[in-house]
Structure 1
């Protein structure tokens, strides 16, 4: 369990919801790893709360499929399954292709400059080698593309998938051998956007998502 796990208090939310959100984020970001046991007493001590909101949070996480209750063992973080990965990435692939098509057509020069800047930040994060920093700069890069679509409904739909995607994004980035390929994929997308070549941009984005699915699927099989 990561040492940086802590409750972010919110005066507008009941404690049970704050604890739920904290544990949910920890699972999605990989701070609580797939297969890791969730011990109520230990979590209560770490978060400085009683066991009751921990227990309630674990029940809700089970309903979301992020936690499994194992007979005679208790709760543990659900492992990433190939089906859940495929389900999320099938939707993401379609939304990302639409987003890059619209961004190619609608992005203003300032937004293209911002995409270039985000790519530089992503490159620096890859050089530093911190998975969380790589994931966050990767997300920031894609956010510029989404914003460039000028389509609020599409941005909303992508944001609804964001947290589920984060788990797979982090899993992909943990594979150090793939980070240079990720950089190249980002460069290809950026160059296509700069030239306003829609077909090239869509193909580059599709390859970007396909490679993520292939790599994470392989990692899942290796850990089974």
Structure 2
């Protein structure tokens, strides 16, 4: 009997363009490539020791993510920070996340909340930067909301979180040298978990709304400095 044609193909190694895109994205999100920084494609190709072709492909992908603006010729500029954009992102998050949290607080088990409490203690480690905890922080909020989130809720949430990622990494990264900021991060997330433990949808909605509003103000102040 002949073998059936494979339904999926084996995973191939990432293309050079994908690798260039990942490295440039990391540098932009961390602020190493500063907002407004202009650079030539040749400059990037020389830094990464690749040809110009994958650099151009990578920059087009980053442009579609709103992280760079391509210029006529062979140059690009890192997209400037737009604080009105950040306000708009948080405005949408405050409309969506408290409502999902109201339903999710009755679906999460005590064991789930115990695990998340342990995770939140990691946010208070003054030796870990926002870049080192960002993915764990993202997973923390996803775990709080996902029990009640539809597939479309998650698509929209993840889109908003990705749009805010550069602002969060750069803004809160500027606060990393202050040990009190690390303590505040832990406390803010422990207080959020305390609200979820009450299983009261109104209490949870208010706590999530306050958490988002407070973080927005902290990020805006840090980015203005």
Q: TM-score range by the shorter chain?
A: 0.7 to 0.9
Give the corresponding residue for 1:107. Answer: 108
What is the TM-score of this pair, normalised by structure 1?
0.78
Within 5 A, what are the aligned runs for 1:34-45?
Answer: 34-45=35-46
* 1:4-39 per-position Cα deviation (integer Å, ceiling 9, x unaligned): xxxxxx836554344334423432343433233334
**Structure 1 equivalent of residue 216 of structure 2:** 213
Q: Distance in 2 between matches of 1:136 and 1:56?
A: 26
Matches of 1:159 and 1:64, distance apart in 2: 13
User: Residue by residue, what CA displacement relative to the aligned partner does 1:165-204 show, whole Å, maximum 9, x if unpaired?
Assistant: 2212213422245443332221211101112132222222
Gaps of 5+ in 1: 1-9
Are the equivalent residues in 2 in contact too, given 1:118–1:140 (CA < 8 A)? no
Quote the residue 1:3 is aligned against.
none
CA distance in 2, matches of 1:172, 1:149: 30
1:183 matched residue in structure 2: 186
Instruction: Answer whether contact 1:192 1:201 (CA < 8 A) is retained.
Output: yes
1:85-114 deviation line (CA, Å, top 9, x unaligned): 122212222222123212212112221122
Partner of 1:148: 147
Higher relative contact order (CA 8 A, sep 6+): 2
Partner of 2:34: 33
Residues 117 and 180 of structure 1: is their aligned pair in 2 closer, same or farther, counting only changes over 3 Å?
closer
d(CA) in 2 for partners of 1:102 and 1:38? Answer: 47
Structure 1 residue 71: Cα displacement: 8.3
| Bigger CA radius of gyration | 2
Moved more, 93-102 or 182-191: 93-102
Q: When the two structures are aligned, how many residues end up with a matched partner?
A: 211
Instruction: Tell me, yes or no, if the aligned pair for 2:124 and 2:182 is still in contact at 8 Å.
Output: no
Cα distance in 2 between the residues matched to 1:149 and 1:111: 14
Q: Indicate if the aligned counterparts of 1:111 and 1:148 stay in contact, CA closer than 8 A.
A: no
Pair 1:160–1:210, CA change in 2 (3 A): same
Where 1:107 maps in the other structure, the secondary structure is: coil
Is the Cα contact below 8 Å between 1:44 and 1:54 reproduced in 2?
yes
What CA distance in whole angstroms lies between the structure 2 residues aligned with 1:14 and 1:134?
28
Q: TM-score by structure 2 length? A: 0.78
Does structure 2 retain, via aligned residues, the 8 Å contact 1:68–1:76? yes
RMSD: 2.8
Residue aligning to 2:78: 77
| Equivalent residue number for residue 93 of structure 1 | 94
Gaps of at least 5 residues in structure 2 are 1-10
